[in-house]
């Protein structure tokens, strides 16, 4: 009997081991994947070969990554004899397009084929994800370096798979931006949109306008919540900030190009321009010589219906020809640095109150036969578009640019809703979808009592539910989508990682994988494996996906609490008696009616007898608020 039990136990262990080894945990999910059985083992004798010089840099990057974790001195050579082969197709395979690849691994080795080098790079990222998690280690690990035998045919759903990093509100160093490029390219993002200028800092050197970085790149030091800080004091030194020299930016661009990431610069106009106005006050209507780069003070009033009032003038003057001369200088230097076809010009949240009071703006409106001051933004944007076209660049702006009238050649980034993108696509504009309801990864991702304070939340499952081509949109004009990380409440790069991941994984799959393959339960299982990899890589991430989701309703005078989780397979335990919950306290199985009195609810999640989520504590006031 004991022998039989031992035999069945052995079968169970083997089955479990096989299941673990055979699991394919790729993000984003490939278009087509087939397991063929067996595995390939990397060894000290393994080599990477590439078919021509266009592939050399990809092979070198892969060899360096493999060497760090394995300790093997893996070489890359131009031939066809390597156990890992990177081959450009002699004739294009239509299905693969510019960024697709085929991947075949057998016991003898791995062959990655593509029409263009970008596809080989993405195939290399797939190879790294198929290796054990220890591939992310910063030093050599002695393990069995195997990957499963598979056949993969993979290609992206969308050509624009973007991530926006706001470096104006808080400055991130050149090295940190490069780290971010490494991180997003692992998941096949191909665009990094850098928000370089705003009210809180100007981050790119313009040699013909030195005050932009001498003055505009620096603000006075302030602690505390952004939007609640005190104003600069007379004579106070501005010491917080930084900027990228043109050589810095060229280095970032080269680094990104090696990883097939296009850098899109954004110069925010005509609103959100206080850093420029502080540098050159004559660019605004008020020409206030005391204008300062904003350190996070409350300098606007918002009325809850999308309207607002600026308490300081942070806009460029659309009636002043000197403004267009200024922008021509800015865009001349940017066009020479950035090879991307687009320059993003902002266009959002422009307050027109100071224009309305300005004699020059009123005269321009009369000359143009414009009745509404809002239409001046359309005039402004058309002037900017002409400047960009003269430099061989295309205008890209937030969805407000549609309101003042813009040429059909302009590309729109739809942020306020899906509807703006739908309307723009119907008008023939190319559109990048980045609606805040799905793509604003600066929002809280867990319970509001745990996360740093912000006015809105966005959970990973909502990101994953994003559909970039909504009903009514003209599909051929939807270039893709983008996640946006605004950084008012992101003071460090470590926190930028925390806000990006794992929601960035969800959006990567939305933008790369076929719509038909999206399935939440399968995705979160793969995401859990990615947590382990990021731990080894030293990359920060949020675990809010394990936290309970708590809603409260009042029925017949009593509070009823409902609880749920994003992550399947979790158990929820709670207390209402001022004790700490664990796996032996009350287990949630349905709506909980709270007793009368000042009850405090404490909630935590478990799996397999171990706590996973954060402890959530809701006092009587917080329960009543919900």
Whether 141 and 258 share a structural domain? no
pLDDT confidence bin for 337, thresholds 50/70/90: very high
Please indicate whether residue 305 or residue 300 has the higher confidence score (pLDDT): 300
User: For the ranges 16-20, 152-156, 418-422, which has the lowest average pLDDT?
Assistant: 16-20
pLDDT more than 90, % of the chain: 92
Whether 110 and 172 share a structural domain? no
And the tokens for 465? 């539910």
What are the residue numbers of the active site? 198, 272, 349
Strand 558-565 and strand 592-593: the pairing is antiparallel
Whether 433 and 306 share a structural domain? yes
Whether 359 and 230 share a structural domain? yes
pLDDT confidence bin for 403, thresholds 50/70/90: confident
The dihedral of CA 585, 588, 594, 598: what is its sign?
A: positive
DSSP states along 459-486: -HHHHHT--SS-TTS-GGGEEEEEEEE-
Q: What is the mean pLDDT of the chain?
A: 94
pLDDT confidence bin for 22, thresholds 50/70/90: low
Whether 171 and 95 share a structural domain? no
Residue 5 has pLDDT above 90, yes or no: no
Whether 450 and 429 share a structural domain? yes
Structural domain ending residue among the three candidates 470, 504, 537:
537
Quick one: average pLDDT of 230-252? 97
Residue 44 and residue 72 in contact, taking contact as beta carbons nearer than 8 Å: yes
Residue 20: its pLDDT value, please?
Answer: 38
Asked whether residue 475 is assigned to any structural domain, the reply reads: yes
Residue 346 has pLDDT above 50, yes or no: yes
Whether 437 and 530 share a structural domain? yes
Q: What distance in Å separates the CA atoms of residue 65 and residue 42, rounded to the nearest whole number?
A: 13
Quick one: average pLDDT of 135-157? 97
Whether 372 and 248 share a structural domain? yes
Structural domain ending residue among the three candidates 507, 537, 567:
537
Residue 249 has pLDDT above 90, yes or no: yes
Whether 515 and 400 share a structural domain? yes
Number of H helices, E strands in the chain: 18, 29
Residue 18 has pLDDT above 90, yes or no: no
pLDDT more than 70, % of the chain: 96
* Structural domain range at position 411: 160-537
Residue 6: its pLDDT value, please?
Answer: 40
Quick one: average pLDDT of 40-55? 95
Helix (H) or strand (E) holding 49: strand 47-50
What's the structural domain count of the chain?
Answer: 3
Whether 237 and 192 share a structural domain? yes
Quick one: average pLDDT of 130-150? 97
Q: What is the dihedral of CA 426, 509, 83, 57, to 10 degrees?
A: 60
CATH number at residue 20: 3.30.379.10
pLDDT tens-place string over residues 76-103: 999 988 999 999 999 999 999 999 999 9
Whether 321 and 188 share a structural domain? yes
CATH number at residue 226: 3.20.20.80
Whether 410 and 266 share a structural domain? yes
Asked whether residue 542 is assigned to any structural domain, the reply reads: no
Residue 511 and residue 99 in contact, taking contact as beta carbons nearer than 8 Å: no
CATH number at residue 600: 2.60.40
User: For the ranges 110-124, 232-246, 399-413, 498-512, which has the lowest average pLDDT?
Assistant: 399-413
Residue 14: its pLDDT value, please?
Answer: 35
């Amino acid at each position: 009997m004991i022998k039989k039990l031992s035999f069945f136990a052995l079968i169970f262990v083997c089955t479990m081991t096989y299941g673990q080894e055979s699991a394919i945990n790729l993000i984003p999910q490939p278009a087509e994947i087939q397991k063929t059985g067996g595995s390939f083992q990397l060894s000290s004798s393994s080599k990477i070969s590439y078919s021509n010089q266009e592939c050399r840099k990809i092979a070198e990057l892969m060899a360096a990554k493999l060497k760090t974790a394995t300790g093997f001195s893996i070489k890359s050579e131009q031939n066809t004899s390597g156990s890992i082969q990177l081959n450009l197709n002699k004739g294009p395979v239509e299905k693969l397009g510019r960024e697709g690849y085929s991947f075949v691994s057998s016991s003898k080795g791995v062959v990655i084929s593509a029409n263009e080098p970008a596809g080989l790079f993405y195939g290399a990222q797939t190879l790294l994800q198929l290796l054990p998690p220890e591939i992310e280690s910063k030093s050599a690990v002695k393990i069995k370096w195997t990957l499963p035998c598979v056949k993969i045919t993979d290609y992206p759903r969308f050509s624009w798979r973007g991530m926006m990093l706001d470096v104006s509100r808080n400055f991130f160093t050149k090295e940190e931006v490069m780290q971010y490029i490494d991180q997003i390219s692992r998941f096949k993002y191909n665009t990094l949109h850098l928000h370089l200028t705003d009210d809180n800092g100007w981050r790119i050197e313009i040699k013909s306008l030195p005050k932009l970085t001498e003055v505009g790149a620096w603000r006075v030091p302030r602690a505390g919540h952004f939007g609640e800080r005190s104003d600069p004091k007379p004579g106070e030194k501005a010491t917080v900030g930084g900027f990228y020299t043109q050589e810095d930016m060229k280095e970032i661009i080269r680094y990104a190009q090696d990883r097939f990431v296009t850098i899109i610069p954004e110069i925010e106009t005509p609103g959100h321009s206080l850093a420029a106005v502080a540098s050159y006050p004559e660019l605004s209507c008020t020409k206030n010589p005391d204008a300062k780069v904003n350190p996070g003070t409350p300098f606007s009033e918002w009325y809850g219906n999308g309207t607002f009032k600026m308490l300081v003038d942070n806009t460029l003057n659309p009636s002043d020809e000197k403004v267009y001369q200024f922008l021509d200088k800015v865009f001349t230097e940017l066009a020479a640095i950035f090879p991307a076809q687009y320059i993003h010009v902002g266009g959002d949240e422009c307050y027109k109150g100071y224009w309305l009071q300005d004699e020059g703006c009123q005269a321009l409106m009369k000359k143009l036969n414009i009745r509404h001051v809002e239409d001046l933004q359309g005039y402004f944007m058309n002037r900017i578009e002409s400047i960009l076209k003269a430099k061989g660049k295309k205008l890209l702006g937030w969805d407000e640019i549609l309101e003042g009238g813009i040429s059909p050649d302009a590309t729109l980034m739809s942020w306020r809703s899906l509807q703006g993108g739908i309307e723009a696509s119907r008008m023939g504009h190319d559109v990048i979808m980045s609606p805040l309801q799905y793509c604003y990864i600066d929002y809280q991702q867990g319970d509001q009592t745990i996360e740093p304070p912000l006015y809105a939340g966005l959970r990973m499952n909502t990101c994953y539910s994003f559909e970039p081509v909504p009903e009514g949109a003209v599909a051929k004009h939807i270039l893709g989508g983008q996640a946006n990380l605004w950084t008012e409440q992101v003071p460090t790069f470590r926190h930028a990682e925390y806000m990006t991941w794992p929601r960035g994984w969800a959006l990567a799959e939305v933008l790369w994988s076929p719509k038909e393959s999206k399935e939440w339960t399968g995705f979160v299982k793969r995401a859990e494996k990615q947590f382990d990899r990021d731990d080894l890589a030293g990359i920060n991430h949020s675990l809010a996906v394990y936290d309970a989701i708590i809603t409260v309703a009042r029925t017949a005078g009593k509070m009823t609490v409902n609880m749920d989780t994003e992550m399947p397979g979790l158990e929820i335990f709670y207390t209402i008696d001022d004790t700490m919950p664990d796996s032996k306290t009350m287990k949630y199985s349905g709506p909980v009616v709270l007793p009368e009195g000042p009850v405090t609810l404490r909630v935590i999640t478990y799996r397999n007898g171990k706590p996973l989520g954060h402890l959530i504590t809701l006092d009587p006031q917080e329960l009543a608020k919900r």
